[in-house]
Structure 1
Amino acid sequence: MSITPQQAEQVYREADCLYSGAEVDAAIAAMAGAITTQLRDSNPLVLCVMTGALIPMGQLLTHLDFPLQIDYVHATRYRGDTCGGELCWLARPRNPVRDRVVLVVDDILDEGITLKAILEELRAQGARAVYSAVLVEKEHARKNGLQADFVGLTVPDRYVFGYGMDYKDYLRNAPGIYAVRGL
């Protein structure tokens, strides 16, 4: 279900700010420190899960001061909606993952169905080790047993947007993390 730019603006104005831009930046820097400690000497391939991880990945990379390569994957269940459907692969990594250490960066760990499928695909392609980093993790028990290796922030079980996460294909550029009022 698409919305107008005016409706998106109203959602933004009425939303609850969960984390300011400064708080998100601090969380990304802290996550980068943990990633550096773990992966500094592994020459990792860092994969951005499009489109939501575009902003967190870009910010995270500026804090990773060691050799790495970047690429992206694009798999989605949402296609602009607020609830997920069947997994659809739009792009797989161009760089070979066989015998590589791979870090997958995503925007959010909600139920984890999309992220879990991506991680399983990379393992099936022969990656030596696969790690996951998420900007935010929702606080609930529906994660299908998936735990991210690196987590920036936790959010309540609400519909959130900003810093790459969208509301009906809008508001990815919001300068903090917000929860939609009433969702």
Structure 2
Amino acid sequence: MADLQTALANSDLVHDRATLERAIADMAARIHHDYAGSVPVYITVMHGGLPFAGQLVLELGACGQDVEFEYLHATRYRGTTSGGELTWKHRPATPLQGRRVLLVDDIVDEGHTLAAIRDWCNQQGAAEVRIAALAVKKHDRCVPGLSADYVGVEVPDRYVYGYGMDYHEQGRGLPAIYALKE
């Protein structure tokens, strides 16, 4: 198994906790502005989106924005570093027909998983599907037509982990984002 301490010793700190918390508070203000007067279905994409989604929803609450909690678990990685076929582990039970949906995830890398999830929400009859991502990786390989509507920070086109993102299923609870040195 890969060793997290070795990875940390060979990584750069990309965004510290204070930077991420400020970015999340800024995102919450923008989301509240866009959703004022409505209660969207707030879907956390597990597992990676959990730390970010928890922090974001507290900031939304502080702004006075209510949401209806839901979650899903779909993965293409299954503990590996490259994606394969999408596997659904849990689909939301809340009916999405006619609802505004906010998907909340840790990162938009190439976007294959989020594109499939967004398409599924649309197939369920969602009136609108938006994406809030803590981080977006800087490159030009994203699925055409897929982008986050709300972005916290940009990260380099390297292996990143922390704040929900894992290093071989480790380090999701790190309160910062790190990138392995090239």
Aligned length: 178
The residue number in structure 2 matching 1:163 is 163
The residue number in structure 1 matching 2:141 is 142
Instruction: Give the AA of the match of 2:37.
Output: D
1:14 equivalenced with 2:10 (yes/no): yes
Instruction: Give the AA of the match of 2:49.
Output: A
The residue number in structure 1 matching 2:108 is 109
Q: CA contact under 8 A between 1:44 and 1:68: conserved in structure 2?
A: yes
Identity of aligned residues (%): 45
Aligned-residue CA RMSD (Å):
0.9
SS of the residue 1:24 aligns to: helix
TM value normalised by structure 2:
0.95
Q: CA contact under 8 A between 1:12 and 1:171: conserved in structure 2?
A: no
- Separation of aligned partners in 1, 2:57 and 2:36: 13
Instruction: Give the AA of the match of 1:100.
Output: R
The residue number in structure 2 matching 1:124 is 123
Q: Which runs of 5+ in 2 are unaligned?
A: none
Runs of 4+ in structure 1 off by over 6 angstroms are none
Q: Which runs of 5+ in 1 are unaligned?
A: none
- Separation of aligned partners in 1, 2:127 and 2:21: 30
The residue number in structure 2 matching 1:34 is 30
TM value normalised by structure 1:
0.95
The residue number in structure 2 matching 1:77 is 76
Q: CA contact under 8 A between 1:11 and 1:181: conserved in structure 2?
A: no
The residue number in structure 2 matching 1:96 is 95
- Separation of aligned partners in 2, 1:105 and 1:176: 18
- Separation of aligned partners in 2, 1:164 and 1:40: 27
